[in-house]
């Protein structure tokens, strides 16, 4: 990360500026450029000084296959060029008064963050004026020692005035570099989890497997497999990226997360803490032992052509709604998934549980990203008819997720159930 100012720019301020850019009129309609901007920002801030390769961007962000050749395919350079032009356009109009300027230097994919002066500039306090009388009575002659002492005092006084002026100037500039306030949608949705005396536990899934990575692994089936050797130290790509997104949001509130994998979680933890579950009950088995969803329930189908597949079952479908929602079949590329975002009471009603889960690891990633973006949080709050933290009640929401080459690229809110309805 490059900073061209004598003040250090905080990480939260940088991410806040990125969110401001992605919801701007110039960029908000281009989901691919917003995704690229977020990716470049996270890499630049998390791995300063480490250059990004075109291959990484192409396969991890733009959905290109593993055989992508940057020499023959200019997709990354074209997209970066488009983003560079959009950023310049934004700062010449809509973002002219933004405190932080984000740029992509030519020949590099590392973002730079600069503090920039606003149109109004920085207000500098006027100099203190000292009134000097027109006529000064003659001073009596002083001994040489006294003259030297007076000279030293004058030098010290001048140094004191200069130091005071510098400090006063810094006090005037400080507000412009202070951490920005968290936007209202985040404050309303996340209030329950960021204002408690203890940080919530984030429980990420790590399913039980049998087999070995080099010969093949599959989920443990208690009806067919022995429990002699179970691998419970694997988790999905989506869960890993999801934890990163949650950490970013909590950093905005100057809060930290406590993270634990599902296999190590106990019911004692559930009784005394607010919880955030990342992953479905098929992998996050602790969810089977605590209060969970009632409207959108994860179950394996017991009949039909997709028998045995994990689905989100719609227990009380509204007119026109299907009874179950499934990801793409296992023998086909994963291009579609469904996920659930649910807030339910804990074992102790004074505690809360937030469930963020998909049929697949990428559906789980999409569910977490949905509640970590301002625009989608705002959409959810509008559907729930919530405007302040005290209005947030238990709810269950269903998301439809589009996936390209293992990357959730589009997430739509398709149904909501609220206890307030």
Check whether residue 230 and residue 375 sit in a common domain. yes
Residues 362 and 241 in one domain: yes
Domain hosting 258: range is 184-418
286-318 pLDDT tens trace: 565 556 889 999 888 888 899 888 899 999 999
Give yes or no: residues 111 and 193 share one domain.
no
Which one is predicted more confidently, 306 or 161? 306
Q: Quick one: 108 and 28 in the same domain?
A: yes
- Separation of alpha carbons 3 and 237, rounded Å: 32
> Which residue intervals of 263-341 are DSSP H helices?
267-272
* Strand 258-261 relative to strand 112-115, pairing: unpaired
Token pair recorded at residue 2: 């490059």
Q: Is the pLDDT of residue 224 over 80?
A: no
Same domain assignment for residues 351 and 202: yes
Say if 176 falls within a structural domain: no
Q: Do both 304 and 413 map to the same domain?
A: yes
Q: What confidence tier does 190 reach under pLDDT thresholds 50, 70, 90?
A: very high
**Could you tell me if 267 and 403 lie in one domain?**
yes
Nearest CA to 280 out of 333, 327, 321 is that of: 327
The residue out of 98, 115, 132 marking a domain boundary is 115
CATH number at residue 64: 1.10.10
Q: Taking 90 as the threshold, does the pLDDT of residue 144 lie above it? A: no
Q: Where are the alpha helices (DSSP H) in 322-412?
A: 361-370, 374-384
Domain boundary among the residues 115, 139, 159 is at: 115
**pLDDT above 70 as % of the chain:** 77
Total domains in the fold of the chain = 2
Query: Is residue 369 included in any domain, yes or no?
Result: yes
Examine the fold and report which residue of 78, 95, 115 is the final residue of a domain before the chain moves on. 115
In a domain, 318, yes or no: yes
Top pLDDT among 161 and 22 is at: 22
On whether the CB atoms of residues 374 and 183 are closer than 8 A, the answer is: yes
Q: Quick one: 268 and 375 in the same domain?
A: yes
Q: Confirm whether 177 is domain-assigned.
A: no
Q: How confident is the model over 129-149, as a mean pLDDT?
A: 46
| pTM of the predicted model over 0.85 | no
Which pLDDT band, with edges at 50, 70 and 90, does 78 fall under? confident
Same domain, 324 and 243: yes
Residue 25 confidence (pLDDT) = 86
Q: Within a domain: residue 250?
A: yes
Q: Is residue 136 part of a domain?
A: no
Do 383 and 236 belong to one domain? yes
- Specify the pLDDT at position 161: 53
Instruction: Report residue 116: phi and psi, to 5°.
Output: -125, 145
Residue 130 lies inside a defined structural domain of this protein = no
Asked if residue 188 and residue 111 are part of one domain, the reply reads no
pLDDT in tens, 322-362: 999 999 998 899 999 999 999 998 888 888 999 999 988 99
Q: Is the residue at 139 inside a domain? A: no
393's tokens: 């009640």
Same domain? For 379 and 279 the reply is yes
Instruction: Write down the pLDDT at residue 12.
Output: 84
Residue 114 is given by DSSP the state E
pLDDT given at position 172:
42
- pLDDT greater at residue 117 or residue 149: 117
pLDDT band at 173 (very low <50, low <70, confident <90, very high): very low
Exposure string for 84-110, b = 16+ CB within 10 A, e = fewer = eebbeebbeeebeebbbbbbbeeeebb
């Amino acid at each position: 990360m490059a900073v061209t100012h004598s003040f250090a720019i905080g990480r939260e301020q940088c991410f806040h500026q990125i969110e401001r850019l992605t919801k701007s009129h110039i960029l908000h309609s281009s989901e691919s450029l917003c995704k690229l901007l977020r990716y470049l920002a996270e890499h630049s801030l998390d791995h300063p000084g480490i250059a990004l390769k075109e291959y990484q961007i192409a396969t991890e962000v733009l959905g290109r296959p593993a055989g992508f050749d940057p020499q023959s395919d200019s997709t990354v350079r074209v997209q970066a060029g488009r983003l560079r032009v959009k950023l310049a356009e934004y700062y010449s109009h809509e973002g002219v008064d933004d405190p932080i300027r984000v740029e992509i230097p030519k020949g590099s994919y590392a973002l730079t963050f600069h503090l920039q002066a606003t149109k109004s500039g920085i207000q500098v306090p006027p100099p203190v004026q000292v009134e000097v009388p027109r006529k000064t009575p003659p001073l009596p002659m002083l001994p040489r020692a006294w003259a030297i002492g007076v000279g030293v005092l004058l030098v010290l006084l001048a140094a004191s005035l200069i130091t005071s002026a510098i400090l006063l100037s810094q006090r005037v500039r400080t507000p412009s570099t202070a951490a920005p306030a968290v936007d209202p949608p985040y404050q309303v949705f996340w209030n329950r989890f960021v204002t408690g005396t203890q940080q919530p536990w984030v429980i990420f899934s790590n399913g039980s497997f049998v087999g070995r990575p080099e010969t093949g692994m599959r989920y443990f089936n208690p009806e067919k497999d022995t429990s002699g050797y179970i691998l419970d130290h694997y988790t999905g790509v989506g869960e890993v990226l999801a934890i990163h997104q949650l950490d970013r949001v909590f950093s905005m509130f100057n809060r930290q997360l406590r993270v634990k994998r599902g296999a190590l979680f106990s019911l004692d933890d559930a009784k005394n803490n607010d919880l955030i579950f990342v992953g479905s009950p098929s992998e996050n088995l602790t969810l089977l032992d605590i209060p969970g969803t009632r409207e959108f329930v994860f179950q394996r189908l017991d009949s039909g052509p997709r028998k045995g597949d994990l689905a989100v079952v719609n227990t009380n479908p509204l007119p026109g709604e299907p009874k179950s929602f499934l990801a793409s079949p296992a023998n086909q590329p994963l291009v579609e998934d469904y996920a659930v975002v649910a807030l339910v009471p804990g074992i102790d009603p004074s505690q809360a549980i937030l469930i963020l889960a998909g049929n697949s690891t990428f559906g789980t990633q999409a569910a977490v990203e949905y509640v970590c973006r301002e625009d989608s949080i705002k959409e959810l709050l509008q559907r729930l008819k919530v405007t302040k933290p005290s209005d947030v009640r238990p709810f269950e929401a269903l998301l439809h997720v589009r996936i390209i080459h293992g990357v959730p690229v589009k997430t739509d809110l398709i149904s909501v159930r609220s206890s307030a309805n």
